[in-house]
Each structure stands twice: as C-alpha cells, then as structure tokens.
Chains A and B, each alone.
Chain A
Amino acid sequence: MYKNIFYCLSVFILLVASSCGSSTSTEVAGSDSVGNLSIGFVYIGSKSDYGYNQAHSEGAAALKNLSGVTVYEEENVPETMDAQKTMESMINMDKSTLIFPTSFGYFDPHALEMAKKYPDVTFLHCGGLYDKSKHPGNVGSYFGYIDEAVYLSGIVAASTSKTKKLGYIAAKPIPQVLRNINAFALGAQSVDPSVTVTVVFTGDWFLPVKEAEAANSLADQGVDVITGHVDSPKVLIETAEKRGIYSVGYHTDQTPLAPKGFLTGAMWNWPKVYTDFVNNYKAGKSLSGLHRGGLKEGIVMLAPYGPAVSEAAKAKAEAIKAEFMSDKGHTIFKGPLVSSTGKQILKAGEELKQQDPILESMDYLVKGVNGSIPAL
C-alpha cells in the first residue's frame, strides 16, 4: 500500500516539475516602466462581498481600463501590522505610488505610519479623517455624504410603508452609522412624522446569521421596510424579501436580490471618484486633504427604484434630490431636533450643514428612533 502511495507521489513530483518547466514565460514585472502608474488597493474583507468591499473593488476595476495604469489589489487584510506591511510591500515590490487603504481602521496608525515613512507616495484613505494640523501632506482622506442618499431612501420607505414602522440593522453605534440612521429617520419623518425606526445593533460588520435574525425579529414587530448598515446587506435584503416586506439597500445596487420588495438604496459611486483622483494625480495636482461630497459631487447615488415604489413617492424623492443637486442644497439636520432620549439637539431655526464637523461625532439617535446607544 505504501509502495503505491510513494509511486503516486513520485508521479506528482514529475508532473509538477514538468509544469514548472513549461511555464517559464510567466514573468510578471513590477510596473516601474516609464510612464506607468502603479496603484495599490487594500480591502478589509473579500472583494466579492456584495457590499462595502465590492463597491471599492468596482471602483478599482474602473481604473484598470485607464491606459498606463496598473492596479494591484489585496483583500482580507486585517487592521493589524499586516495592513502596514501590505502597503509597504505594494510600495517596495509593486512600485506603487498611489495607495488606497479602503477601510476606516487603516488610517490611524497604519496609513499614517506609512505616510511618514514614504513621503513620495500618496495615500488616499476612505473615511474622511484628515486633519491638516496633525497629518502628513501626502495623505488624503475621502468620504461621501451618503446620508443624503439615505435620507432620500427614508422618504421612499416612509411613503411605501403601510405599518409606518421601519427597521434599521446596524453593526456598531459609531457616528457614521448613527448619522445614517438619523438621516433615514428624518427622511421618513419628513413624509409622515409618526413613522418610527427601530434599530438593532449586531455588534460586528459581517454576521449573516445575526443579521437574518435581526431582520426576522423586526418583521415580527410589524416592521415592513428594512434597511441596514453592515458590510454586506445581502442577507437582510433577502430575508426581507422572504418575509414579504420591503427593503432598502446600501453600498451597492442590490435590486437583483429582491425583485419584488427592493425599494431603492444608497450607493457609492467609486468608479467616478477613483477615476477623478487618478486623473488629477496624473495631472500633477495634490490630493492631500479632505475630499467630501454628496449627490451633487457624484460621490454617492440613489439606486434605481423598485416596482413597489409609487409614482407619488418617486416624485417626492426626486424633488428633494433636485434640491440636494442644486447650489442651495438641502439641509438634513435642522432644528427643532430632539434626541430619542428627549435632549434638545438643535433649536428651531438652527441647522447643521453637511460640512459641519459636529456631524462627524454624532452620538445620539433622533426622536422617533427606537433603540439606545451605550453612553459615551
């Protein structure tokens, strides 16, 4: 018996050896040739997750079509030393001069450390964290006012909901997430002030069973539109469809997952953003600083409307969308604004523009949202 195994093994070895011999022409050179731009993308999860990372990867894919650009991608890179070494390896071995660390947690300390060490390389981080007084000049940070698209989805959701109860499944109660929840609730309340939004925090960015369970228990409570802010909203949208209720997407267009109940969703437009970045980079412009923008700047978009959305609801959403696109803009967070615990956030007449940094440290849920967040 062992003789056979040994025999098989030697055959394998021969096979491998011959294949090695035949594949000598597979040279992949670093892209240091003249005029070629090498760009590195680092993802926190799988780039085919139907959510956050896929959205970025689609942006990276758009760059591959540009001439003179080579794109290197690395997925499932944890926010540990691994993140720094991945960027450094892209710089050293792929000769990348433009790096996109796409996860929020890559910024401090990982991207900052690398930026200090490699002043000739440009780092563009997704998260909107740049502070000119503290951070090096070869770093830029970008993020979209996706709450604008979420606000519009809230309008569509409230217009479609029959029970006037909406559900929001979120990973963690961090400012970015709270801002989206509040924008969703305010959008919904602009249609009907009696609408409530119930929040379930799952505790992490990718927990399919918990997300499905949350969607089910929300449906049990009579919620008939579900949306969420997790890395891959696939499960919650499919669960909503299974339960025969409506869903609102996030990150990418999830229409195919729920042909009946998908209403609309907030999604990123990274292909445009990344193409612009690279063109500016090639034109020699500095990419340092904070890059932010919403619907008007084309960083975020609204997903196509589903069949369940009435013409009236579409008209309402489109009207506000037009305001967002206009020079005057539309303000989401304006007084009177009261938190879910009854605290006065903004007095009547006060308003917070999208660029206001106070919005970046949001630590409350607005009135009409069921749920609480741990005291900060």
Chain B
Amino acid sequence: MAKNSTTKLISTLKPVLNTLVALSISLVFFALFLLIIGASPKEVFTYMIEGSVGNWFSIQNTLLMMAPLMLVAFCTVLPAKLGMVVIGGEGALVVGGLASAVTGIALADASYALTMSGMFLSAFLAGGIWIGFVGLLKYYKGANETIVSLLMNYIAIALLNHLVEGSLRDPQSLNKPSTYHIGESKMMGDIAGTDVHYGVIIGLFFILFTYFIYHFTTFGFSVRITGGNKKAARLVGLSLGKIILITCFLAGGISGLAGMVEVTAIHGRANASLIAGFGYTGILVSFLSRHNPIAVLPVTFLFGALAASNGLIQRRCELPDATMVVLQGIIFVTIIGWEGFSGKMALQSFKKLKFNLYGSKLLADTFSNYRRSYKS
C-alpha cells in the first residue's frame, strides 16, 4: 500500500521534475546566449525576477498576463485528450470577443447580471461553434483539424476587421475602428484590493472544472478511455462523433471566454486589439503542460512572468524586445525536446551519481518506473 502510493506520487512528480530540469537547462542556454551577445545574465535574471514576482505590483502584473492564456490554452488542451492538435485558439478568442461585445451592446439597458451572463454565454457559444465546426469537419470529413483550425484563425481575424470597420463600427471610434462601448457600468472590474480583474478567477474556475469533468464524470472517463479510438468509444457506448464534437465545443467555448474577458475587463469594445497572439501562445502553454488542465496553471504563470518582466529587461538592460522571444523559443525547444532524453538520461546520470541519501528507495522506485515507461 505504502509502496503503491509512493509510486503514484513519483509518477505524478516525474513530469514536474522533468519540466523543471528542462527549464533550468533552457535558462543555462539563455545565459549562454546573453554571454555571446555581451549582456550580463545576472543582470537579466535579476530583472526577470524583479519584474515578475519581485514585488506586489509585479505579481499582479504577472497574474494579469496569465488571464487570457489560462482560458485560451484549453483550445488545444481538451482536443489533445483525443489525440487531436487544434491550434485555433486565436480565432475562437476573436469570435468570442466579438460576440460578447455585440451582446453587451444589445443588452445595454439590461441589468448587470443579465448583461454579464449574456456576454458570457454568447462568447462561449461563439467560440464553441467556431471550434465545434473544426471537430465536425474532422469527424465527418476527416479534414485535418490542425490545418482547418489554423485557417479558421485567419478567417476569424478577417471577419472581425471587416465587421469592426463596417457594419458594427461606432462612428465615434474615429481613428481606431471599434464597436460601441458596452458601458462603463458593465465592465468586469477588479478583485477587491487588487488590480487583478476577475478573468483570472474565471480561468482558475475552468482549470478546476475541466479537471473535474475529466476525472470524475462519465464523459471524462470515456474520453480518457477512448483517447480518440473509435472501437474503444463504441465499447463505452458513446459515439466518437459525439465525443469529438463535445470536446471541441468545450475547447472553443472556453477560449471564446478569453475574448470576453479581454472585452469586458479591458477594452470595453471589440476591435483589432483582440488580435494579440494570445491564441498562439496558448498552444505552447498546452504542450508545455502536457495537456493537463492542472498543469496549465504553473505554465501560464511562467508565461505571465516572462511577459510581465519583458518590459523591465528591455528598459534596464537596453536589450531589444526580441530578446524575450529568444528566451521563450529556447524554453519551448528545450522543454519539448527534453522529452526525448529525460527517461534515458535521468536514469544514467542518477546511477552514475550513486545517490546515497535517505530515501534511496524512493529513487529506486523512480528508476524502475522510468525503466518501465521507457520500455513500454
């Protein structure tokens, strides 16, 4: 019994440890890069910490940067459970934002609660239908979901621009074409005592919600069992089509909410500012968290921290903005690539180091675990 639970603990900790190791390696690579270009790694890392978690302002900044990513990442996270790679988060965010703005304007005279729920629902529906369509094409036509969702991103952006500069435009939004404002009284507001808006809470809610769905409901069970396998799906008595459609709808819906948060917490209207590349970052969040809803939280924290400290590094170290893009690139390449080494390398290196610490049994368990997973 005890052994069983340690094994279980280790198998949960293993990916976490792996990611941490990979993260440290990527920081070493980045430090090298900084040395090559003649910058001081110490200085950069100091500002990185100061700008992300160094003080209360920075922490709030990090949290705010996390908000859209927490939601939009689900566009890739959920379909990945079925072995599908959907990269349409940007499009779902854009249509979600657009839909919530339109609803907010239409419900201008309604109560706060009604408007909010209307915007929430419309963003969820719009995003859900947008990505649901991807799932539909996947199931009925066998169309490649990665490419279809990529194309849908471009189409969503064109649609937003077209409508915002045309029929939905507020004539008062002179040099920045936008829809009408939903009204200051309808804005989402901040959590009391902070500058952090409720988008973060919505993000947290969906992290827990999806975790619950996938671990404690029949639907989640069948998704985990089938993993996109037609025959297995039939065994649990659900059609694969239904599973795909529901998953894609949920995925799109949650990322559509990212658009709603952008509109109701920040801009108050829909305009081209919604196209900020959150959707593409969301894809990486998903892969880095191994499509695990709970892991989305620490991974978005990492991204939020990078985004929040970006400015300070630019200003203090006089490095161009691209420096942080390089860092992000190095981090992703290392973490994703590390998968290919982790099993074998950890085993060899640990063996060589001949750990003789208290809890060596724990390590032994890890090894056998590694070995098993490597062989299978």
Q: Taking the nearest CB of chain B, how far is it from the CB of A151, in angstroms? A: 19
B161 touching A203 by the CB < 8 A rule? yes
Q: Taking the nearest CB of chain B, how far is it from the CB of A28, in angstroms? A: 5
CB-CB under 8 A for A375 and B166, given A19-B42, A20-B41, A89-B61: yes
A-B residue pairs, 3 tightest by C-beta: A20-B42, A72-B315, A23-B40
Q: Taking the nearest CB of chain A, how far is it from the CB of B173, in angstroms? A: 9
B171 touching A376 by the CB < 8 A rule? yes
B42 touching A23 by the CB < 8 A rule? yes
Q: Which residues of A327-376 have CB atoms within 8 Å of chain B's CB atoms? A: 360-361, 363, 374-376
Q: Which residues of B128-165 have CB atoms within 8 Å of chain A's CB atoms? A: 161, 165
B348 touching A90 by the CB < 8 A rule? no
Q: Which residues of A15-51 have CB atoms within 8 Å of chain B's CB atoms? A: 15-16, 19-20, 23-24, 26, 28, 40, 46
A81 touching B51 by the CB < 8 A rule? no
15 more A-B contacts (CB under 8 A) besides A3-B348, A26-B42, A73-B314?
A2-B345, A16-B28, A19-B40, A19-B41, A23-B42, A46-B321, A75-B320, A85-B65, A85-B308, A90-B315, A93-B57, A104-B176, A127-B175, A174-B177, A361-B174
Q: Taking the nearest CB of chain B, how far is it from the CB of A21, in angstroms? A: 8
Q: B267 near A: Cβ within 8 Å?
A: yes
Q: Taking the nearest CB of chain A, how far is it from the CB of B89, in angstroms? A: 15
Q: Which residues of A119-134 have CB atoms within 8 Å of chain B's CB atoms? A: 127
A374 touching B165 by the CB < 8 A rule? yes
Give the contacting residue for A172; candidates B35, B58, B165, B266; CB below 8 A: B165
Q: B262 near A: Cβ within 8 Å?
A: yes
B57 touching A88 by the CB < 8 A rule? yes
Q: Which residues of A160-184 have CB atoms within 8 Å of chain B's CB atoms? A: 172-176
Bitwise, B198-227 to A at CB < 8 A (1) or not (0) is 000000000000000000000000000000
- Which stretch in A5-13, A219-227, A300-308 binds the other chain? A5-13
Q: A136 near B: Cβ within 8 Å?
A: no
CA distance A375 to B169 in the complex (A): 10
CB-CB under 8 A for A376 and B169, given A2-B344, A80-B266, A174-B176: yes
CB-CB under 8 A for A26 and B315, given A46-B321, A80-B273: no
Q: What bracket does the count of chain B residues touching chain A fall in?
A: 35 or more
Using CB atoms, name the residue of chain A closest to B56: A92
Q: Taking the nearest CB of chain B, how far is it from the CB of A285, in angstroms? A: 27
A360 touching B174 by the CB < 8 A rule? yes
29 contacts between A and B (CB under 8 A): A2-B349, A6-B345, A12-B28, A16-B28, A16-B41, A23-B43, A26-B42, A46-B321, A74-B311, A74-B321, A75-B321, A78-B276, A81-B266, A82-B307, A85-B61, A85-B64, A85-B308, A86-B311, A88-B57, A92-B57, A104-B175, A104-B176, A105-B176, A109-B268, A127-B175, A172-B165, A174-B177, A176-B175, A376-B171
CA distance A363 to B165 in the complex (A): 12
The total of chain A residues at the interface (CB under 8 A) is: 55
Bitwise, A138-176 to B at CB < 8 A (1) or not (0) is 000000000000000000000000000000000011111
Q: Taking the nearest CB of chain A, how far is it from the CB of B197, in angstroms? A: 8
CB-CB under 8 A for A174 and B64, given A23-B43, A75-B320: no
Q: A326 near B: Cβ within 8 Å?
A: no
Bitwise, B6-35 to A at CB < 8 A (1) or not (0) is 000000000000000000010011011001
Q: B312 near A: Cβ within 8 Å?
A: yes
Q: Which residues of A contact B58 (CB under 8 A)?
A: 89
CB-CB under 8 A for A24 and B42, given A12-B32, A80-B273: yes
A9 touching B25 by the CB < 8 A rule? yes
Using CB atoms, name the residue of chain B closest to A103: B176
Q: A76 near B: Cβ within 8 Å?
A: yes
Q: Taking the nearest CB of chain B, how far is it from the CB of A29, in angstroms? A: 10
A175 touching B35 by the CB < 8 A rule? no
Q: Taking the nearest CB of chain B, how far is it from the CB of A82, in angstroms? A: 7
Q: A199 near B: Cβ within 8 Å?
A: no
Q: Which residues of A contact B169 (CB under 8 A)?
A: 376
Q: Taking the nearest CB of chain A, how far is it from the CB of B342, in angstroms? A: 11
Give the contacting residue for B314; candidates A23, A74, A174; CB below 8 A: A74
CB-CB under 8 A for A105 and B43, given A361-B174, A375-B166: no
Q: A231 near B: Cβ within 8 Å?
A: no
CA distance A6 to B344 in the complex (A): 13
Q: B341 near A: Cβ within 8 Å?
A: yes
Give the most central of A28, A72, A93: most B CB within 10 Å.
A93
A80 touching B262 by the CB < 8 A rule? yes
